[in-house]
Each structure stands twice: as structure tokens, then as C-alpha cells.
């Protein structure tokens, strides 16, 4: 059974994980990347989000509140920076600082079906992340419209961006 909902979708992607495989080997790099993504997932959970997809070195989650999704995005970056201090594994202390995080948010109607989410907001967040720089968060106008004015003031406009697979810019 499917349900139509209004949600904010957060897509997060680790950059630099490819180099870990060269430096650490497949098993160790996989372990480290998996550990990082799991740690990011814990932050999503703490902010009331639901991770519905992990993509190797990234994740996609939904939030009822755009404000919570924005707060989570900020804390995802902080969590990645804190991981070497939190993790007693020497390899993590050496290699996590090489990783960078990109986060993109879009708000809109989604279809929830058997714990997975579909819809334009999911697609926009997933494509917007391709344009996001390291250690940045990009959000759509729909996210900004859903947060309080005092939070809106902390964002700056990049104008409209063309994203892959979409006729109209966001």
C-alpha cells in the first residue's frame, strides 16, 4: 500500500571515499565508509529523520519537518568532523579527515511504499547533491519556504540551478 506525504528529503554523500580503497584496500575502506555512513544515520535518527536508502558512501532520508532536516544537515557535517576524535581506530583518525560531506534538501510530495520513498522531492535531492560542493548544503526554495524566517536568514541564494533529468531549474 502506498501513502502520499509531504516530506523534506535529505541526500548526503561522502566525497573522497574512492581514495580510501586505494590507500586502505577494499576490506578496510569498506569498513570505514560503512562506519561513517552508519554514524551519519545515527544523526538522522536523532533529528527525527528516517533513512530509507543507503548508497555505499551516502544515504537518503525523509523528515516531517524541514527545520529538523536543516538542523540535521548541519549536525551531519559536525559528526563527520568529530568521528576521528570519537573513534579509537587509528585508521579512522588518519583517513576520516580526508572525507568531505555534501548534503542536499528538497521538500515536496512523496509516495511512501513499503518503507521506500518516491517522487519529485526524492529525485531533486538526489540530483541536487551532484551540484553541491564539499562541506556544503544546498536546499530548494520549497525547503526555505517551510522553515522559520530567522533560519531562512542564514541561507544565501544561488539563483536557479539546472539539474540533470529535469526540464525546469530549481
pLDDT in tens, 36-56: 999 999 999 999 999 999 998
**Looking at the DSSP assignment, which residues form a beta bridge with residue 107?**
8
Reply yes or no on whether the pLDDT at 31 is more than 70: yes
pLDDT of residue 18: 84
Residue 18: name the closest of 3, 1, 30 by CA: 30
**Helix, strand, coil fractions of the chain, as percent rounded to 5:** 45, 25, 25
Residues β-bridged to residue 9: 62, 106
Q: Taking 90 as the threshold, does the pLDDT of residue 35 lie above it?
A: no
103 closest CA partner among 73, 147, 72, 70 = 73
Q: Give me the pLDDT at residue 160, please.
A: 87
* pLDDT tens per residue across span 151-166: 888 888 888 888 888 8
pLDDT value, residue 135: 93
Contact (Cβ atoms closer than 8 angstroms) between residue 74 and residue 114: no
In whole angstroms, what is the distance from residue 2 CA to residue 153 CA?
36
User: What is the predicted pLDDT for the residue at 132?
Assistant: 94
Nearest to 53 by CA among 142, 124, 109, 126: 126
Question: How many residues would you count in the chain?
Answer: 170
Residue 112 has a CB neighbour count (10 Å cut-off) of 18
Round the average pLDDT of the chain to a whole number and report it.
Answer: 90
Residue that has been written with the C-alpha cell 515536496 in this structure: 108
* Residue 89 pLDDT exceeds 70: no
C-alpha cell at 104: 542536499
Contact (Cβ atoms closer than 8 angstroms) between residue 100 and residue 158: no
pTM for the predicted model, two decimal places? 0.92
Max Cα distance, the chain (Å): 48
Amino acid at each position: 500500500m502506498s501513502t502520499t506525504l509531504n516530506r523534506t528529503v535529505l541526500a548526503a554523500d561522502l566525497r573522497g571515499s574512492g581514495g580510501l580503497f586505494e590507500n586502505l584496500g577494499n576490506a578496510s575502506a569498506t569498513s570505514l565508509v560503512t562506519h561513517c555512513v552508519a554514524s551519519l544515520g545515527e544523526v538522522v535518527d536523532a533529528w527525527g529523520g528516517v533513512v530509507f536508502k543507503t548508497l555505499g558512501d551516502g544515504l537518503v532520508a525523509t523528515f516531517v519537518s524541514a527545520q529538523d532536516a536543516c538542523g540535521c544537515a548541519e549536525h551531519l557535517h559536525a559528526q563527520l568532523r568529530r568521528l576521528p576524535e570519537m573513534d579509537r581506530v587509528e585508521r579512522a583518525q588518519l583517513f576520516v579527515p580526508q572525507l568531505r560531506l555534501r548534503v542536499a534538501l528538497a521538500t515536496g510530495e512523496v509516495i511512501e511504499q513499503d518503507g521506500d520513498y518516491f517522487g519529485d522531492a526524492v529525485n531533486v535531492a538526489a540530483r541536487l547533491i551532484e551540484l553541491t560542493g564539499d562541506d556544503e548544503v544546498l536546499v530548494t526554495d520549497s525547503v526555505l519556504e517551510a522553515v522559520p524566517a530567522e533560519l531562512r536568514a542564514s541561507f544565501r541564494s544561488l539563483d536557479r540551478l539546472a539539474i540533470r533529468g529535469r526540464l525546469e531549474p530549481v
